[in-house]
Amino acid sequence: MKTKVINYIISLILVVYYYISITTTYSLIVINKGGWYLGEWLINYQDGGFKRRGFFGSLFIFINEVTKINLENIIFSFLFLVYTLFFYLLIKLFWKEKNNLLVIALILLPAGFGMMVKEPSIASKKEIIFFLFYLIYILCIRSKIIIRDFVISLFIIVAILTHEAAFFYLPFVSFTYFLNNKGSSLDKIKKVFIYQLLPSTIIMAFLFKFGINISTGNSVLFLKNHGLVLQELGIYEYDPNYNVLDIYKASIYSYQTYIISIFLGAFTFYIYCKLNAVKINLLFLSLQTIFLIPLFYLAVDWGRWVNIFFSLLTIFIVTEQKLVLTRKQEIITVILILFNSSWTMLLKTTGFITFPFLDDFLKQVYYFVYFKIQKIFI
């Protein structure tokens, strides 16, 4: 298929994602005023002191106090601008590439950007800031714009102060920096340590050592005094001391099915790399995996963490070479796209959903094997 046609299809898909992002964000932020969505963006320093994720919330509170505009409208306007800029730049990134059908397979991947259609509640989450910062970085590299090291440090710090999960995806930035900057390997490793790893580690240590709880006794009243009553408390009734292992044990099958989605996502990228003769550094993948292990232990939103990984990997890999596919390879790609359209990965608890009969079969096989193994050790 001709590159121009494929680029139009990619742009159309991204426009659909943009529409879903905006409409879902409006519903979650303005209409429903959800505590897990609107509430997360309103974590701030004014209602009790320095805490995790309070950077943008403090800015929004300040704007509310100065302008008296409703908090939900301020946040939606901000997210509207962020999503508009992100998808405009993303379309611009793809449009300049000589894309083939495999790129469409990546964009539709349910564990990556395709999650926007399969699980729209992924919209309005704070990782859109990570995506935007990383996309801007990739575009600057592509345009041969030199970004000073301290600017990268600043962006990393802002991302971590927005949501500490950004720390666990730091290898994406470091690896991209390492590949696209001149100098000896030793010199680049030193700069990665000094300007990326060191400041981010200090910020994380400071947050968890001296930062107070996300919700203080004054948080809900503080928001009410600023004209906002959340329809659900959400993050403001979050218990930071909850036993995460109990949650995993209670939903052990559902969480284990994330392995299926991760495998299918990895398989899609494997096919993409194989047919395009692209190589991804195994050391980078290993380091990134190691960085993510604590995140998967500490927080139950596994679908969210998987989605961030594959979305960032999509942004990174799309600038690599793309070959002209043979007819056979195009047929393989179409089959891959159709297959990936048949399954879904949810934000948390449920890692893989497909046709009901296949879901039932997987559960039967799992529990059959589980109880057989259990009898061996009892």
- Give per-residue burial for 11-22: e unless 16+ CB within 10 Å, then b: bebbeebbebbb
Q: Is the pTM of this model over 0.85?
A: yes
What would the mean pLDDT of 327-344 be, rounded to a whole number?
Answer: 95
Give 18's strand partners. Answer: none
Confidence of residue 1 (pLDDT cuts 50, 70, 90): low
Residue 375 has pLDDT above 70, yes or no: no
Give yes or no for residue 367 having a pLDDT over 80.
no
Nearest CA to 93 out of 137, 125, 123 is that of 137
Is the pLDDT at 9 greater than 80, yes or no?
yes
Give the total number of structural domains in the chain: 1
Domain that holds residue 165: 3-377
pLDDT tens digit string along 115-166?
999 999 899 999 999 999 999 999 999 999 989 999 999 999 999 999 999 9
Burial string for 266-287 (b: 16+ CB within 10 Å, else e) reads eebbebbeebbeeebeeebeee
What is the percent of the chain with per-residue pLDDT over 90, rounded to a whole number? Answer: 75
Torsion sign across C-alpha atoms 342, 349, 258, 260: negative
